[in-house]
Chains A and B, each alone.
Chain A
């Protein structure tokens, strides 16, 4: 590989105010087969068109083989593009279609003919030269489209949902052909699809997009086994998401602590985490003592679906068996169900029917690194709590994160009972004198506190500011988690005191900004823009928020006392503010993505 074939740097594309592609940076190696995977509307096709040059970008750079092509017309980029609907020229024969690119370049007839024959052999369509597209089947037409896109020896082959219009069998055949052609030519290829099976079958690496952002990229098996985000965990294959507590003793699901052995290492802070349980990693047994793996709960079989090689079961967890909160991906209900699949072999060992009670064990689990595991609304009354829960910003965040919003009724959240711990993010209404309240919640273990004004608009921009560099790590982690679930731009705001005669501290300030940018990129795959301002932090932030009202502020603090200097900002804020505090017991310098690694092998 070595040389980068396609390099995207902070590519952003907006349509009528909406950000369709949001700060995507990506390097694709020479000869690599890269698959962009995402649901429809995630911006993957727009990104592909931007690489092809058919769509301009509003921000960022695109380089092909080290050549900056950001402002180069599509016809000069030397790419081949294959469309979902083939886009063959219907009034031309197969031969004319394939030779189109060569004719444009005034290649001699004999040479054109030789190249055409070669390409037709490559896509297994020899002898079809004189047919018209209408005389070919869908699969054959797409083969012609592939041959046509390769005629001019492009440096990059781009495929936009090329199998979308084909039926399953033809699809598989064509998939094999394309993989073969790609290997034979060693051409760098980017394929866009919403079909994860297709992505697994073809990709050297997969990049997963949602809401215009490139969420994660990696080898298919890596992404499947160790997703970093809820979205990827549930989009790539089926997954049960559960809330659990991580402590020095291991992972525990609710009341009856289910301890998971953990390799010796740094102490882990007591916190709420999101667990990914793949349906095939759950073991079922008639009773707890028959399990060969760590027991997590008991339950009742509710539904059994036979689907060929695998059996799909839905098991309802027994009430209290585990206070584990199962986050259901499809209907968002709080019903504690788990999806489980079993092989034929397992079915024979323990035949099950609906209504039967079973013990559940887990072979392997994965801890997501997300710091925003769940939301807890703190309010004085039922009505106020409901109003907060119904705030569109919070409701859409929770839905997209596939997590719950719990409610705690406390007359004074700030004072509350310091013994009742609080996990995930706390949510409170913007009221006068918020600083105390925020301090109380952070002291009780909240990872972050979200202050919501009434009818907060959906933010177009997330401003990130940390009091100092020690607060940066947690702040960026929370910001990244937040930004993965909304289509807003990220701006990292650095503020230097104004009494610094412009200049002396400037280089330090700039360096801090660049550090923050590269940390966000390296650890979270998040691209942020940076701004440097001068003055007092609280008033500069207020000014900046006033400039662009559709913003959300992520404020990172290192110690609870830092809140005092921001008291004015937290005085009935008109903007949503998310206060993040660097955890008292840091994660001992381990990269957030890797937190769960030691916990994975349980059996």
Chain B
């Protein structure tokens, strides 16, 4: 009897069992709810669907949600790298403490971080007042939204980069240095390409988290339609008006858009990995 070509004999037992669990959990927790969402959205008339998802208010919210999330993830790529580098490469007195602080945004209820950020960045807050003097408003603008999303995504980036950076062999940097390369050249040509996969993974995680973020953003965003209203909030508004289908339609758009972004990043990732590992193995 020909066996499934996926089922290859393995020294590790339990393939059938673990695959069963994987399928069950993914179906129950991810696929079924998502399918329900699509079914709900699909039960609308096409014209209604288009009207809801292309309303100016919806378009504005997409721009803010995806724009701010991409921007926040990009900011995290730079500063998260610096933080991770500092934590891995240097020995300083409060290193352990700083390392523990990184996880705080994971643990805080997002609403709490939202309120905290708002109080600091509002026009009369500790930091906001100085920006207000310069005529820059942070809270209740897209800048505030970006700051909130950066905070939320930062631990994902740092925690992904730390192991990758500690794996960068000092010897590689030493070798480059003896060959005549300066610090910046070594960073650009040796260190960054080596940690690129982790950088992309961190970006993916931070971005995904930011797109779905709700709690921390609504406090600092001010939620002005067309300007500082994020898509998740718009969905909640639809729900409060008992427009479940409209909410599902917006949800479906977010789902597809997020999927496309994540797929793109993963493809880049796979391409990079193939290039580094070579075709031999």
Contact = CB atoms under 8 A, between A and B. Distances in A.
Contacts of A54: 174, 177-178
A83 B171 CA distance: 7
B178 A53 contact: yes
Contacts of B177: 53-54, 73-75
Interface in B243-281: 275-281
Nearest to A133: B278
B175 A87 contact: yes
B178 A104 contact: no
B176 interface: yes
7 contacts: A74-B174, A75-B182, A80-B178, A100-B179, A104-B180, A134-B280, A149-B179
A542 interface: no
A149 B277 CA distance: 23
Given A80-B178, A85-B169, A100-B176, 11 more contacts: A53-B177, A54-B174, A74-B178, A75-B177, A75-B181, A75-B182, A81-B174, A91-B193, A101-B180, A132-B277, A134-B280
Nearest to A77: B178
Given A85-B169, A89-B190, A91-B194, A79 B178 contact: yes
Contacts of A131: 278
Closest 10 interchain pairs by CB?
Answer: A101-B179, A87-B171, A132-B278, A134-B278, A135-B280, A87-B175, A81-B178, A91-B193, A104-B180, A74-B177
B280 to A, nearest CB: 4
B86 to A, nearest CB: 21
Contacts of B190: 89
A152 interface: yes
A533 to B, nearest CB: 39
Contacts of A87: 169, 171-172, 174-175
Contacts, number: 81
A53 B180 CA distance: 12
Contact of A134 (B169, B174, B181, B281): B281
Interface string A66-93: 0000000111110111010101011100
Interface in B149-204: 169, 171-172, 174-182, 185, 189-190, 193-194
Contacts of A226: none
A135 B182 CA distance: 28
* Most B Cβ at <10 Å: residue of A76, A77, A100: A100
* Most B Cβ at <10 Å: residue of A49, A85, A104, A151: A104
A169 interface: no
A83 B175 contact: yes
Interface of B: 169, 171-172, 174-182, 185, 189-190, 193-194, 275-281
A85 B169 CA distance: 10
A435 B177 CA distance: 58
A202 B174 CA distance: 25
B185 to A, nearest CB: 6
A49 B176 CA distance: 14
A52 interface: yes
Contacts of A465: none
A105 interface: yes
B164 to A, nearest CB: 13
A132 B280 CA distance: 9
A149 B178 CA distance: 8
A105 B181 CA distance: 9
Interface of A: 49, 52-54, 73-77, 79-81, 83, 85, 87, 89-91, 100-101, 104-105, 131-135, 145, 148-149, 151-152
Contact of A91 (B174, B175, B276, B279): B276
A74 B180 CA distance: 7
Contact of A104 (B181, B275, B276, B281): B181
A101 B181 CA distance: 7
A134 B280 CA distance: 7
Nearest to B171: A87
Contacts of A133: 278
Contacts of A90: 194, 276
A74 B171 CA distance: 13
A77 B280 CA distance: 37
Nearest to A76: B180
Nearest to A135: B280
Contacts of A49: 174
B275 to A, nearest CB: 7
B227 to A, nearest CB: 43
Nearest to B276: A91
A132 to B, nearest CB: 4
Contacts of B275: 91, 132
Contact of A52 (B178, B193, B276): B178
Contacts of A75: 177-182
A135 B278 contact: yes
Given A104-B181, A104-B185, A134-B277, A85 B174 contact: no
Nearest to B172: A87
B84 to A, nearest CB: 19
Contacts of A145: 175
A545 B213 CA distance: 69
A158 B178 CA distance: 10
A205 to B, nearest CB: 23
A535 B169 CA distance: 55
Contacts of A148: 175, 179
A132 B177 CA distance: 21
Nearest to A54: B174
Contacts of A100: 176, 179, 181
Contacts of B194: 90-91
Nearest to A160: B171
Nearest to A80: B178
Nearest to A158: B178
A135 B275 CA distance: 11
A464 to B, nearest CB: 37
Contacts of B175: 81, 83, 87, 89, 145, 148
Contacts of B174: 49, 52, 54, 74, 81, 83, 87
Nearest to B190: A89
B179 A151 contact: yes
B180 A152 contact: yes
Contacts of B176: 89, 100
Contacts of B172: 87, 89
Contacts of A77: 178
B109 to A, nearest CB: 41
Contacts of A134: 276-278, 280-281
Contacts of A79: 178
A87 B194 CA distance: 13
Nearest to B177: A74
Contacts of A135: 278-280
